[in-house]
Amino acid sequence: MFRTLHRNIKIRLFVGFLFSIAQATTMPFMAIYFASTIGEAVAGLLLAIATMGSLLASFVSGYYCDKIGRRPIMLFGEVVFFASYVLMAAANSPWWSSPWATFMAFLTSTICFGLYVPADDAMLLDVTDVADRPVVYGMFYWMYNLTLAIGSSVGAFLFEGHRMLLFTITGVAILITLFTTIFFIQETHPVTDAHSLTHPVHATSLFHVYRRVFNDRRFVLYLIGGLCAATLEAQLNNYIGIHLAKNMTTTTITTLHHISLRVDGLKMVGLLQTENTILVVLLATLAIRFVTRRDRRRTLFAGLALNAIGYVLMVVFTNPYILLGTMLVATIGEVINTPIRQAYLGELAPEEMRSSYAAMNGVSFTAARLVASLAVVLGAIVPHWTMVGITALFGFTGIMLLRIVANQLPRFQPRDPFTDNIPTTTSSQT
């Protein structure tokens, strides 16, 4: 099937790999760097400003991409990304050390990330059909987790003592993606409003576009359902992590090869994250075959249910063996439901507004992290078993809302994406 995919998809896999490597080797460690050089309180405020800037940029990007095309926004984003990494490398060199210059470059790159993602997501929707999207999203999902595993490991070794080298390498990677986009990526959404090329966006224009998005009841249900599902996964670094740090005693784990590991709550969180990443990389390809050979609605619900059960049980137990088992269950559910859930975006978004819908979908994931962080505050007030119930409620709500959305979309016959090329449907596309 890979040979039949649009050229842009194949190129975007390569570009996405380099792009994600650059992100994974640097971004997870920036908060630690700013906290140690600027101060924790100021660093927290600056990171919040960067997040808000990224959110606002995604709204603007969604509007413009539907007017002037995807490629100009992507090129602009990659040019500024490259400049940002050059500045970060210079600001962490033996000749110049400036945390504030590093932050300005980080802020710029974060805002550009908000511009870039809706264009990238919309281009992916432009060049895929309904039947192929779960497969394509599965490929990108696998690639992202692979780069996360590689990038975070490389960054952990280089960030502390070799930041200039790290930022230089990632800058070169971004430069390669820029030239690849310039010479090989084709525009998939030609200019529909030449006026937008020379005139700035107005708040009223944005308001009208996103009011139309929010008037789409099915899409709003999809957003809330996806937010609930994403909130469960974000709990590992929030309430679940704090729960394990407070309540899990140091325990010795013996592996199959009789290797003993002593873990406490904090180490257990890291171990669960590692397990999740490794399992996604190992299982994603099998999951693609699984989800495309079966009824996607039932498969989606099964995956969401397994994911919810796994994370709810992580809130309940502190035994390391049980936790490892529940993460296995949650990850199986994750790799099953994620490609299908992401693919539904293409059916919900009108062709002329794909970037705007993609921007809102991206905002929902940021909102999920915010909700998960608020759960930490709530967990300090209410009893633990109340948090168990709230976590279960999030899982149940996500399943029910996404079920409502799925039941309103066409049902496609299962097929093998590695042998079949022609999709079939049991009802007409609406």
Tracing tokens 């010795």 back to the chain, one arrives at 252
Query: What gap in Å lies between CA 234 and CA 229, rounded to an integer?
Result: 9
The strand ranges marked E within 78-175 are 92-93, 96-97
Residue by residue, DSSP assigns 228-293 as HHHHHHHGGGTHHHHHHHHHPPPEEEE-TT--EEEE-HHHHHHHHHHHHHHHHHHHHHHHHHHHHT
pTM of the model: 0.81
Helices (H) and strands (E) in the chain — how many of each? 15, 4
Domains of the chain: 1-183 (1.20.1250.20), 208-417 (1.20.1250.20)
Q: What is the reported pLDDT for 426?
A: 40
Neighbours of 396 (CB within 10 A): 15
Nearest CA to 313 out of 133, 5, 138, 305 is that of 305
pLDDT for the residue numbered 430: 32
Give phi and psi for 261, each to the nearest 5. -125, 130
Neighbours of 393 (CB within 10 A): 13
Predicted local confidence at residue 429, as pLDDT: 37
Which structure tokens are listed for 86? 């050059």
Mean per-residue pLDDT pooled into runs of 10, the chain (430 residues): 76 87 82 79 79 85 84 90 92 90 90 88 85 82 85 80 88 91 84 55 72 90 93 85 84 72 80 87 82 82 94 91 93 91 87 86 82 83 90 94 88 54 40
Question: Residues 143-166: pLDDT tens digits?
Answer: 888 888 888 778 878 887 888 998
β-strands 260-263, 92-93 pairing: unpaired
Q: How many CA atoms lie within 13 A of 372 on its CB side?
A: 24
